[in-house]
């Protein structure tokens, strides 16, 4: 039996010899690689912190002491050491364990995560609570260099220095975010500033001193000490010490013995301490070390070769269509610039960044800044497109309202990963954007039903002298042939996709397809439904919606957004304003967090795929259940 299999709790790490601990790190790596090759997941980050995780659990007493992982995508070794070895093969699957720390899952998971840069604030809150309650606990935040580019991390550091609480912040520095990390602080931390200067000074001094007879060698020693002092002046120590932290490091993140020694010392220090650990993303699995961006978050892959499994269908993703189209648009309009918040590949902007390096900005994990920065660009005549995941745009709500919409600036929001995203689960589902955007004055909002409509939305955005948002999902598009860019849509005009006499389904976004599927099935059962692609969430097609509601007296709405405050709610408001009282059923996501699973599984669970929509409509209309053979063919 392996050491990992024998472990009942992380406390047992204290009884292991150095050799056994080293063996444990190898077993952890093997388990992580073999499992993630089958399930997919965040491989490279988890591999990079295996020694760090073992060292922390060796020195701390979890769950009494709290380890707060930032983002949490690096916590697989932590999960394996804290009782989840048997379930590990269910990672990120429906009903399985989460890809991120989750308090519900284990008492060792101190804080729920998924979005970045929260760890310092959360751990500081825990430290303050500990002191209010006169408890003896260690509070540790583990944050990556990428996550340190988020402003929230600095708000936490600033406050921690002020409160002077006992708090340990571990900075795991691998010089990578998902792509190479960006920004001045990242350069400072990775000592790029110092190494250039130090190498030059060292060479010059050595050359000179080597030529000094008799005392040259002694002077060389002195000079080396001076060089260290000079380096010390420029190290992150300066930054963190100015913020009120004791700085320890940089430590080699793969030397378990050194990490354990350092943490044993650090846990006895008073006040906030920052431990700077330098590690390699993907450590121990060559394909991941060579291509950490690919192996940051990856689907199933071949363990031996590291080659990802080909995706079924092989169609271009919505993200891909967006990226390609933006390049086309930028060729024709040099005012177009693009912004990502550390999601270069994820948002499909890689081609754009290569074609137009001067018109592309990666701002780091800084969604708020991305939006206000775009507002600044727009105020000077440019047409910025900010490409953000729906879930991360949540962070920048005020910036959208205050910096963009209030000034009616022509900033375009390309909202990717809208709707249910799948295996990342509730931290990442983009299911609130309809609700948190549609009430913002001046903002035009589209949700394309397919990739051609996505292109149309992108073209339409360029015709509007104000803020514009379009949202599209994770995953493959329909595979429709793309030619020249389509014409712009008429603002606020929906499109009838199918006629029907008994009722009308208003759908918005990719669920149009499911609505059409349901309507086709129900037609055979005697219910004739029109299907309308509303196209716009704001402004709504008032006349079309009222006319159809009046005509049929039976209204269904479908959206991949929470029902509260979403598209269906907007239709209800409109109907009330028009004093129309058709029977209405809204279909969308529930008033609860949707867990992880494949997108298909989750859409089915929420009843917004074709068969689910048909089922809900049947129930609402008291229709007989179809024969099982017909239902399964739905
Ligand atoms: C608010 C927010 N924006 C973007 C992301 C997407 N994201 C997840 S991990 C990551 C990179 C984090 O880099 P780092 O903290 O250095 O950890 P590493 O991946 O290098 O281990 C990004 C951009 C996120 N989780 N949260
Ligand atoms: C942890 C995190 O926030 C990202 O790595 C995210 O999981 C990426 O999601 P996609 O796989 O949809 O790009
Ligand atoms: Mg990093």
- Residue 389 assigned as binding residue: no
Residues 617 and 522 in one domain: yes
Question: Counting atoms of ligand 1 from 1, which one is nearest the CA of 145?
Answer: 16
Is 283 a residue of the active site?
no
Residue 19 lies in a domain: yes
Tell me, what CATH number does 506's domain have? 3.40.50.920
Residue 436 lies in a domain: yes
Residue 630 confidence class, pLDDT cut points 50, 70, 90: low
pLDDT at 195: 46
- Say whether 593 sits in a helix, a strand or coil: coil
Residues 278 and 415 in one domain: no
In short, whether 346's Cβ falls inside 6 Å of ligand 2 is yes
Is 281 a residue of the active site?
yes
With beta carbons less than 8 A apart as the criterion, state whether 364 and 177 touch.
Answer: yes
- Residue 285 assigned as binding residue: yes
Of 437, 471, 505, which residue sits at a domain end? 471
Give me ligand 2 centre to Cα 297, in Å: 6
- Residue 483 assigned as binding residue: no
pLDDT at 193: 45
- Share the mean pLDDT of the chain: 93
Residue 312 lies in a domain: no
Cα 93 off chain centre by: 18
- Residue 146 assigned as binding residue: yes
* 41, 69, 147: residue to mutate for ligand 1 pocket, most atoms within 8 A of CB: 147
Residues 271 and 145 in one domain: yes
How many helices and strands, by DSSP H and E, does the chain display? 26, 17
Lowest mean pLDDT among 12-26, 302-316, 353-367, 541-555: 302-316
Residue 588 confidence class, pLDDT cut points 50, 70, 90: very high
List the catalytic residue out of 395, 438, 615, 618. Answer: 395
Residue 214 confidence class, pLDDT cut points 50, 70, 90: low
Question: Counting atoms of ligand 1 from 1, which one is nearest the CA of 115?
Answer: 26
Residue 218 confidence class, pLDDT cut points 50, 70, 90: low
- Say whether 142 sits in a helix, a strand or coil: strand
Residues 395 and 526 in one domain: no
* 342, 397, 428: residue to mutate for ligand 1 pocket, most atoms within 8 A of CB: 342
Question: Counting atoms of ligand 2 from 1, which one is nearest the CA of 72?
Answer: 1
Tell me, what CATH number does 48's domain have? 3.40.50.970
Is 312 a residue of the active site?
no
| CA-proximal residue: ligand 1, atom 25 (nearest) | 115
pLDDT at 624: 87
Residue 130 lies in a domain: yes
Rounded to the nearest 5 degrees, what angle is found at the Cα of 152, between the Cα atoms of 443 and 72? 100
Residues 210 and 187 in one domain: no
- Residue 34 assigned as binding residue: no
Give me ligand 3 centre to Cα 544, in Å: 50
Instruction: Please enumerate in sequence order all residues whose Cβ is within 8 A of that of 380, keeping only pairs 6 or more positions apart, or say none.
Output: none
Residues 423 and 457 in one domain: yes
Residue 83 has pLDDT above 50, yes or no: yes
Instruction: List the domain range (segments joined by +) for residue 227.
Output: 192-234
Give me ligand 2 centre to Cα 524, in Å: 41
Residues 228 and 250 in one domain: no
**d(C-alpha 564, C-alpha 64), whole Å:** 38
Give me ligand 3 centre to Cα 176, in Å: 4
Domains in the chain: how many in total? 4
Give me ligand 3 centre to Cα 181, in Å: 7
**d(C-alpha 163, C-alpha 166), whole Å:** 9
Q: From the CA of 100, which ligand is nearest?
A: 2
Residues 572 and 425 in one domain: no
Question: Counting atoms of ligand 2 from 1, which one is nearest the CA of 73?
Answer: 1
DSSP type of residue 235: S
Give me ligand 2 centre to Cα 293, in Å: 11
List the catalytic residue out of 29, 58, 130, 281. Answer: 281
Task: State pLDDT tens for residues 243-278.
Answer: 999 999 999 999 999 999 999 999 999 999 999 999
Residues 60 and 18 in one domain: yes
Task: State pLDDT tens for residues 507-532.
Answer: 999 999 999 999 999 999 999 999 99
- The whole-number average pLDDT for the span 332-339 is 98
- Residue 164 assigned as binding residue: no
Residue 308 lies in a domain: no
- The whole-number average pLDDT for the span 575-596 is 98
Residue 573 lies in a domain: yes
Question: Counting atoms of ligand 2 from 1, which one is nearest the CA of 428?
Answer: 3
SS3 content of the chain, % helix, strand, coil (to 5): 45, 15, 40
Residues 175 and 68 in one domain: yes
pLDDT at 205: 54
In short, whether 280's Cβ falls inside 6 Å of ligand 1 is no
Residue 490 lies in a domain: no
Residues 382 and 513 in one domain: no
Structure tokens at 303: 């363990």
In short, whether 69's Cβ falls inside 6 Å of ligand 1 is no
Residues 145 and 198 in one domain: no
pLDDT at 309: 93
Residue 561 confidence class, pLDDT cut points 50, 70, 90: very high
Residue 197 has pLDDT above 70, yes or no: no
């Amino acid at each position: 039996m392996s050491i990992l299999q024998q472990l009942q709790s992380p406390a047992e790490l204290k009884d292991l010899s150095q050799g056994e601990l080293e063996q444990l790190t190898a077993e952890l790596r093997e388990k992580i690689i073999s499992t993630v090759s089958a399930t997919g997941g965040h491989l490279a980050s988890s591999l990079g912190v295996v020694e760090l995780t073992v060292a922390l659990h060796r020195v701390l007493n979890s769950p009494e002491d709290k380890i707060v992982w930032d983002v949490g995508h690096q916590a697989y070794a932590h999960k394996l050491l804290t009782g989840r070895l048997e379930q590990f093969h269910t990672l990120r699957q429906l009903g399985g364990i989460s890809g991120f720390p989750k308090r519900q899952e284990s008492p060792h998971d101190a804080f729920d995560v998924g979005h970045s840069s929260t760890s310092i604030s959360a751990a500081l809150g825990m430290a303050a609570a500990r002191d209010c309650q006169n408890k003896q606990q260690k509070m540790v935040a583990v944050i990556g260099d990428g996550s340190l580019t988020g402003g929230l991390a600095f708000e936490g550091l600033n406050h921690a220095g002020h409160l002077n609480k006992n708090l340990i912040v571990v900075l795991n520095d691998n010089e990578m975010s998902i792509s190479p990390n960006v920004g001045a602080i990242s350069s400072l931390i990775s000592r790029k500033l110092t190494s250039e200067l130090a190498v030059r000074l060292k060479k010059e001094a050595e050359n000179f001193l080597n030529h000094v007879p008799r005392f040259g060698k002694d002077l060389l020693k002195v000079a080396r000490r001076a060089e260290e002092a000079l380096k010390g002046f420029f190290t992150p120590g300066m930054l963190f010490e100015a913020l009120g932290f004791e700085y320890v490091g940089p430590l080699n993140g793969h030397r378990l013995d050194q990490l354990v020694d350092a943490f044993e010392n650090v846990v006895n220090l008073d006040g906030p301490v920052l431990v700077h650990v330098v590690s390699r993303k993907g450590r121990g699995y060559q394909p991941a070390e060579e291509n950490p961006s690919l192996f940051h978050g990856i689907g199933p892959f071949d363990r031996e070769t590291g080659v990802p499994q080909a995706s079924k269908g092989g169609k271009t993703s919505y993200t891909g269509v967006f990226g390609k189209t933006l390049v086309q648009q930028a060729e024709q309009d040099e005012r177009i610039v693009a912004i990502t918040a550390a999601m270069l590949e994820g948002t499909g902007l890689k081609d754009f960044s290569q074609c137009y390096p001067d018109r592309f900005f990666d701002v780091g994990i800084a969604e708020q800044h991305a939006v206000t920065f775009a507002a600044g660009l727009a105020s000077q005549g440019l047409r910025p497109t900010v490409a953000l995941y729906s879930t991360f745009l949540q962070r920048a709500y005020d910036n959208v309202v205050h910096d963009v919409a209030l000034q009616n600036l022509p900033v375009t929001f390309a909202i990717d990963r809208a709707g249910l995203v799948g295996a990342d689960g509730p931290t990442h589902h983009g299911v609130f954007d309809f609700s948190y955007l549609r009430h913002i004055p001046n903002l035009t909002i589209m949700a394309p039903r397919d990739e051609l409509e996505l292109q149309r939305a992108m073209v339409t955005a360029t015709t509007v002298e104000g803020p514009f948002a379009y949202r599209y999902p994770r995953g493959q598009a329909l595979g429709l042939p793309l030619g020249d860019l389509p014409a712009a849509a008429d603002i606020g005009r929906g499109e009838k996709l199918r006629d029907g006499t008994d009722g009308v389904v208003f759908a918005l976004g990719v669920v149009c397809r499911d609505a059409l599927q349901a309507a086709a099935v129900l037609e055979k059962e005697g219910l004739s439904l029109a299907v309308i692609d509303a196209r716009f969430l704001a402004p709504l097609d008032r006349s079309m919606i009222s006319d159809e509601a009046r005509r049929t007296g039976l209204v269904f709405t479908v959206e991949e957004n929470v029902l509260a405050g979403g598209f269906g709610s907007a239709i209800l408001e409109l109907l009330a304003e028009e004093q129309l009282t058709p029977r209405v059923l809204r279909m969308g996501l529930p008033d609860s967090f949707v867990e992880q699973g494949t997108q298909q599984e989750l859409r089915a669970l929420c009843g917004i795929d074709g068969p689910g929509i048909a089922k809900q409509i049947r129930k609402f209309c008291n229709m007989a259940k179809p024969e099982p053979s017909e239902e399964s063919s739905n």
